[in-house]
Amino acid sequence: MEKIAFRMRLKPACLDEYRRRHDAIWPDLVEALKAAGIRDYSIHHDPETDALCATLWRVDDHDMDRLPALDVMRRWWRSMAPLMDTNPDGSPVSVSLATLFHLP
């Protein structure tokens, strides 16, 4: 398993709606994420900057690269775009975060 960490940005005053949408995450999206090898995925919010810091574990033989081509992923991105900074393809702008310390 490999741990991945990244940062995204929430638009101001969108926290409640962002939380609501994730509380009601679509079952077919959950299925797609798990099928791609994603495990133990969490997103954390920094209220001072509206940064979203996410971590996930993925299996060694993951298939995450196929997610952007899935209809469910593109629909999710479109639904979340009003709440977040996004790329031209609709995906969230994300910055990889390097692990500097880990206490197993």
pLDDT value for 42: 97
Q: List the pLDDT tens digit at each of the 104 positions of the chain.
A: 999 999 999 999 999 999 999 999 999 999 999 999 999 999 999 999 999 999 999 999 999 999 999 999 999 999 999 999 999 999 999 999 999 998 98
Residue in the block written with tokens 């995906």: 91
Residue in the block written with tokens 């500097």: 100
Say if residues 50 and 10 touch (Cβ distance below 8 Å). Answer: yes
Beta strand pairing status for 2-9 and 95-96?
Answer: antiparallel
pLDDT value for 71: 97
In the chain, domain spans:
2-84
Say if residues 70 and 26 touch (Cβ distance below 8 Å). Answer: no
Q: Which CATH architecture has domain 2-84?
A: 2-Layer Sandwich (3.30)
Residues designated catalytic = 22
pLDDT value for 82: 97
Residue in the block written with tokens 């679509």: 26
Say if residues 76 and 29 touch (Cβ distance below 8 Å). Answer: yes
Q: How much is the pTM?
A: 0.90
Say if residues 12 and 51 touch (Cβ distance below 8 Å). Answer: no
